[in-house]
Structure 1
Amino acid sequence: MGGVSEGVQHAILEETNFVQGEFPFRYLGVSLNEGRLNKEMFADLLNKMQKALHHWANYKVSYAGKISLINTVIFGLEQFWCSTLLIPKGVLKLVTKFCRNFLWGTVEGQRKLIMKSWSSCCKPHIEGGFNIKEILAWNKCILCKWIWAIETHADSSWVIWNHTYNIKQGGKVQLSLIYEQLRDHDRKISWEKTVWNRVALPKHSVLVVLAMQHKLATIDKLNYRGLHMVNRCILCKADNESHQHLFFKCQFATSIWNRLLKWMKLRGRTDSLKRELHWLAGRRRRRHWKAQWISSCLTALAYSIWEERNSRIFRDVEHNEDYIVRRVQYLVSIRLLYAYHSSYEDEILDSINS
């Protein structure tokens, strides 16, 4: 109570049987304070995020799985706060730090190879990112729901008052358009729909994006960072390991890709991952299941090559070409039938079995 003496305050409390509260207190789940917003007000939010991320960090989750968790659970936790308050930048930086460390497996006090900057991860797929929302831009964007409430005459005394005294003209607000205006933009890529399609597994798509941007921890990049490792391709043992060599100048990878092209009744044209994707981007304009068949084969092979490389280095387990070819064929066939079972099932079965 303000503007009255303590005696009047006591008289009001005795007459109404109310209890005088103190700041800070919680209202509808939001912590309110008499001063400016600070980190202490968001302690509950930060603790819930840390607890959830620490729990998931104990499991072996792919990058695609971690991105999905960040986009759903983590942003779901902060959605209510973002839609209610303009969160201080210090809190948003902590949230970004938690999510970045979780994605790349960074532990406090230990150095970890960060494959891709967080700002780049927050770009949409068409710009080479992982479609994670920029939290600062999204916080400002989602607060515009109050503008939408004003414009649509929501049943609220505050909205009615604004329409009566402040609002002169009507209009519509689309949060997606506002977010596009607020976020940072980057150059668009031509192979986005080739990598991110309904057949390819998300974890395959994430790895291909990292490979296209030369963000994987190949030996040449590790040596550049000062680790001083013997640079030799573990797959073909004929050349130094690099992104260009693994995808697809390596004899091991090239042989597998040519066999998959033959399976899809295409002529072998292996050169590099970049050229293959640009070639497939042109074919994909046909918007047919065969275009996605080829695209998903390429992404699955790239993932399998990287997985085989890691298996030989870290687990000393080696698989031959036949095993990888059969695995890619099986996985892609299952995904194709699942995606197009109602329309092209017979045609797909004839193609993959011939």
Structure 2
Amino acid sequence: MEILSRYLRQICSLPQVTYHPKCARIKLNHLIFADDLMIFVRGDVPSVTAVAHALDKFGSISGLVANPDKTEIYFGGVHNDVKALITQATGYSEGNYLWQSSVDHQKIYMKSWAMCCSPWDEGGFNIKEVLSWNNANLCKGIWNLLHSSDSLWAQWHKTYAVKQGTIWTATVKPAHSKVGEVSCISGSLLEKFGTAVFFERALAKTCVSKNGKFVVHKAYDLIRNHYPKLRWAHVIWHPSVLPKHSFIATLAGQHKLPTVNSLCRRGLYLTNWCVLCKHAMETHSHLFFYCAFAGDLWRKVLAWMGLNGRTSNLRRELHWCSLRQHRRHWKAGWYRCCLSACIYTVWQERNARIFAGHETDVAILLKQLQFTVKVRILNRHTKDSRMVTTHLSSIYA
């Protein structure tokens, strides 16, 4: 990777290559992560072509070639004609930003960004919302200005910025950076809590530890958007469940997957028909697991777990599991893993039939699911690996 970094730094010395407008001052043109590479240049043909040549040169030496199917170019403020020339010259496709729409292409979002930034037990993905996190850190500055007596920084601002007033009414000057930041967030925070007194009381009650220190993550939890708790969230977001399975299962449990019925209700004209059984409309309730195909797969999974004679749907399974699956025994994780894997498998098979025209038999899907679950459970329960292997092997064959 050091050689690749050297190549990418060298191309910026070429006269035809220009830095990205927001990266020129610090001379930044790439970031390398464990399994990702981000390259930043000006959106013109010479600059992007030079980057592509550097990647090709590195690939010819190291054998590490960029995969065109996994490489995308993200544009900002670039004319469509230039976009076409760049994608044609590089062979890479244009990437789409999340939650982005245009006049010609309207995206349909099944889940708001605010909900995505909520915790797992509220139906989100536990992502930090940057604006609220920044305001939480500014709340620490507010607290220090209000209560810190031994801080020279707080004393200076109280003397020269706040003077005889309060931090909420102080006149903002360029030199008073922290007071200016407070004034920027005071409107939204005071609107939420009513008055400055109630806001200060909320900070004191919620965000201050026993030793008197301000805790930023508690302030974040205080000011962020809150949603109703999901009793079954701990079933899906569990260490025994693969993250990609948890992601799809959470959307399915909230009826947020883009099923045909959901898309039709949002104005798209589609044939509302289940591609798995071809006997009913495609809704969340039908797919999980009233559909003959999905229901057959789930019944076989239940039989594999020794739970014969049950016919159920997703809502009932989540409720049943949330009430009974609190144990730390490996079989509890086995059920969670199987339920989430079955939801993921059904959704993947549905997409394969719609977008690729490829159909897979239930028996093959069951074998794939069993293998995935077995590997996951064995990796999670290494102390009981011999017992788990013996039990799963006896019913896996």
TM-based fold match above 0.5 = yes
Quick check: 1:351 aligned with 2:391?
Answer: yes
Query: TM-score under structure 2 normalisation?
Result: 0.59
Question: In structure 2, how many angstroms separate the alpha carbons of the residues matched to 1:149 and 1:128?
Answer: 34
Give the one of 220, 227, 246 matched to 2:261.
220
> Partner residue of 1:197?
238
Q: Percent identity?
A: 42
Counterpart in 2 of 1:36? none
CA distance in 2, matches of 1:221, 1:60: 29
**8 Å Cα contact 1:204-1:303 kept in structure 2:** yes
Change (3 A) 1:323 1:286: same
Amino acid paired to 2:235: T
Shift in CA distance, 199/106, structure 1 to aligned 2, threshold 3 Å: farther
The one-letter code of the counterpart of 1:298 is L
Unaligned runs of 5+ in 2: 1-20, 31-36, 42-67, 72-95, 163-210
Alpha-carbon offset, residue 207 of structure 1: 0.9
SS at match of 2:326: helix
Change (3 A) 1:303 1:105: farther
- Displacement after TM superposition at 1:316 (Å): 0.7
Residues 197 and 253 of structure 1: is their aligned pair in 2 closer, same or farther, counting only changes over 3 Å?
A: same
Contact 1:232 1:238 in 2 (8 A): yes
Cross-structure match for 1:120: 115
- How far apart, in 2, do the equivalents of 1:60 and 1:108 lie? 27
Q: Give the alignment partner of residue 136 of structure 2, picking from 141, 157, 172.
A: 141
Q: Does 1:237 align with 2:278?
A: yes
Cα pair distance change 1:175/1:298, threshold 3 Å: same
TM-score, normalization by structure 1:
0.66
C-alpha distance 60-272 of structure 1, shift in aligned 2 (>3 A): farther
Which position in structure 2 is the counterpart of 1:292?
333
Larger relative contact order (Cα-Cα within 8 Å, sequence gap ≥ 6):
1
Amino acid at match of 1:195: I
Match of 2:377 in 1: 336
> Which amino acid in 1 is paired with 2:367?
R
CA distance in 1, matches of 2:39, 2:274: 35
Name the SS for the 1:285 alignment partner. Answer: coil
Deviation at 1:121, TM superposition (A): 1.1
Distance 1:112 1:54, change over 3 A: farther
Shift of 1:223: 2.0
Distance in 1 (alpha carbons) for counterparts of 2:148 and 2:240: 40
Distance 2:349 2:249 in 1: 15
Contact 2:235 / 2:318 at 8 angstroms: preserved in 1?
Answer: yes
Return the letter of the residue paired with 2:245.
Answer: H
Q: Distance in 2 between matches of 1:246 and 1:330?
A: 23
Structure 1 spans left out of the alignment, 5+ residues: 1-41, 62-100
| Closer/same/farther in 2, CA of residues 218 and 291 from structure 1, 3 Å limit | same
Q: Deviation at 1:183?
A: 0.7
CA apart distance, 1:147: 6.6
Q: How much has 1:226 moved relative to structure 2?
A: 2.9
1:282 aligns with 2:277: no
Please state how far the C-alpha of 1:254 moved relative to its aligned partner.
Answer: 1.0
Q: CA offsets per residue over residues 303-334 of structure 1, 9 Å max, x none?
A: 11010011011111110011110111111111
Contact 2:272 2:282 in 1 (8 A): yes
The corresponding residue for 1:180 is 221
Q: CA offsets, 1:70-121, max 9 Å, x none?
A: xxxxxxxxxxxxxxxxxxxxxxxxxxxxxxx634676785211211111111
Query: Who is 2:178 aligned against?
Result: none
> Residues 1-354 of structure 1 correspond to what in structure 2 (within 5 A)?
102-103=97-98, 109-144=104-139, 146=141, 158=153, 171-341=212-382, 343-354=383-394
Once residues 288 and 148 of structure 1 are traced to their aligned partners in structure 2, the CA distance between those partners, rounded to angstroms, is 45
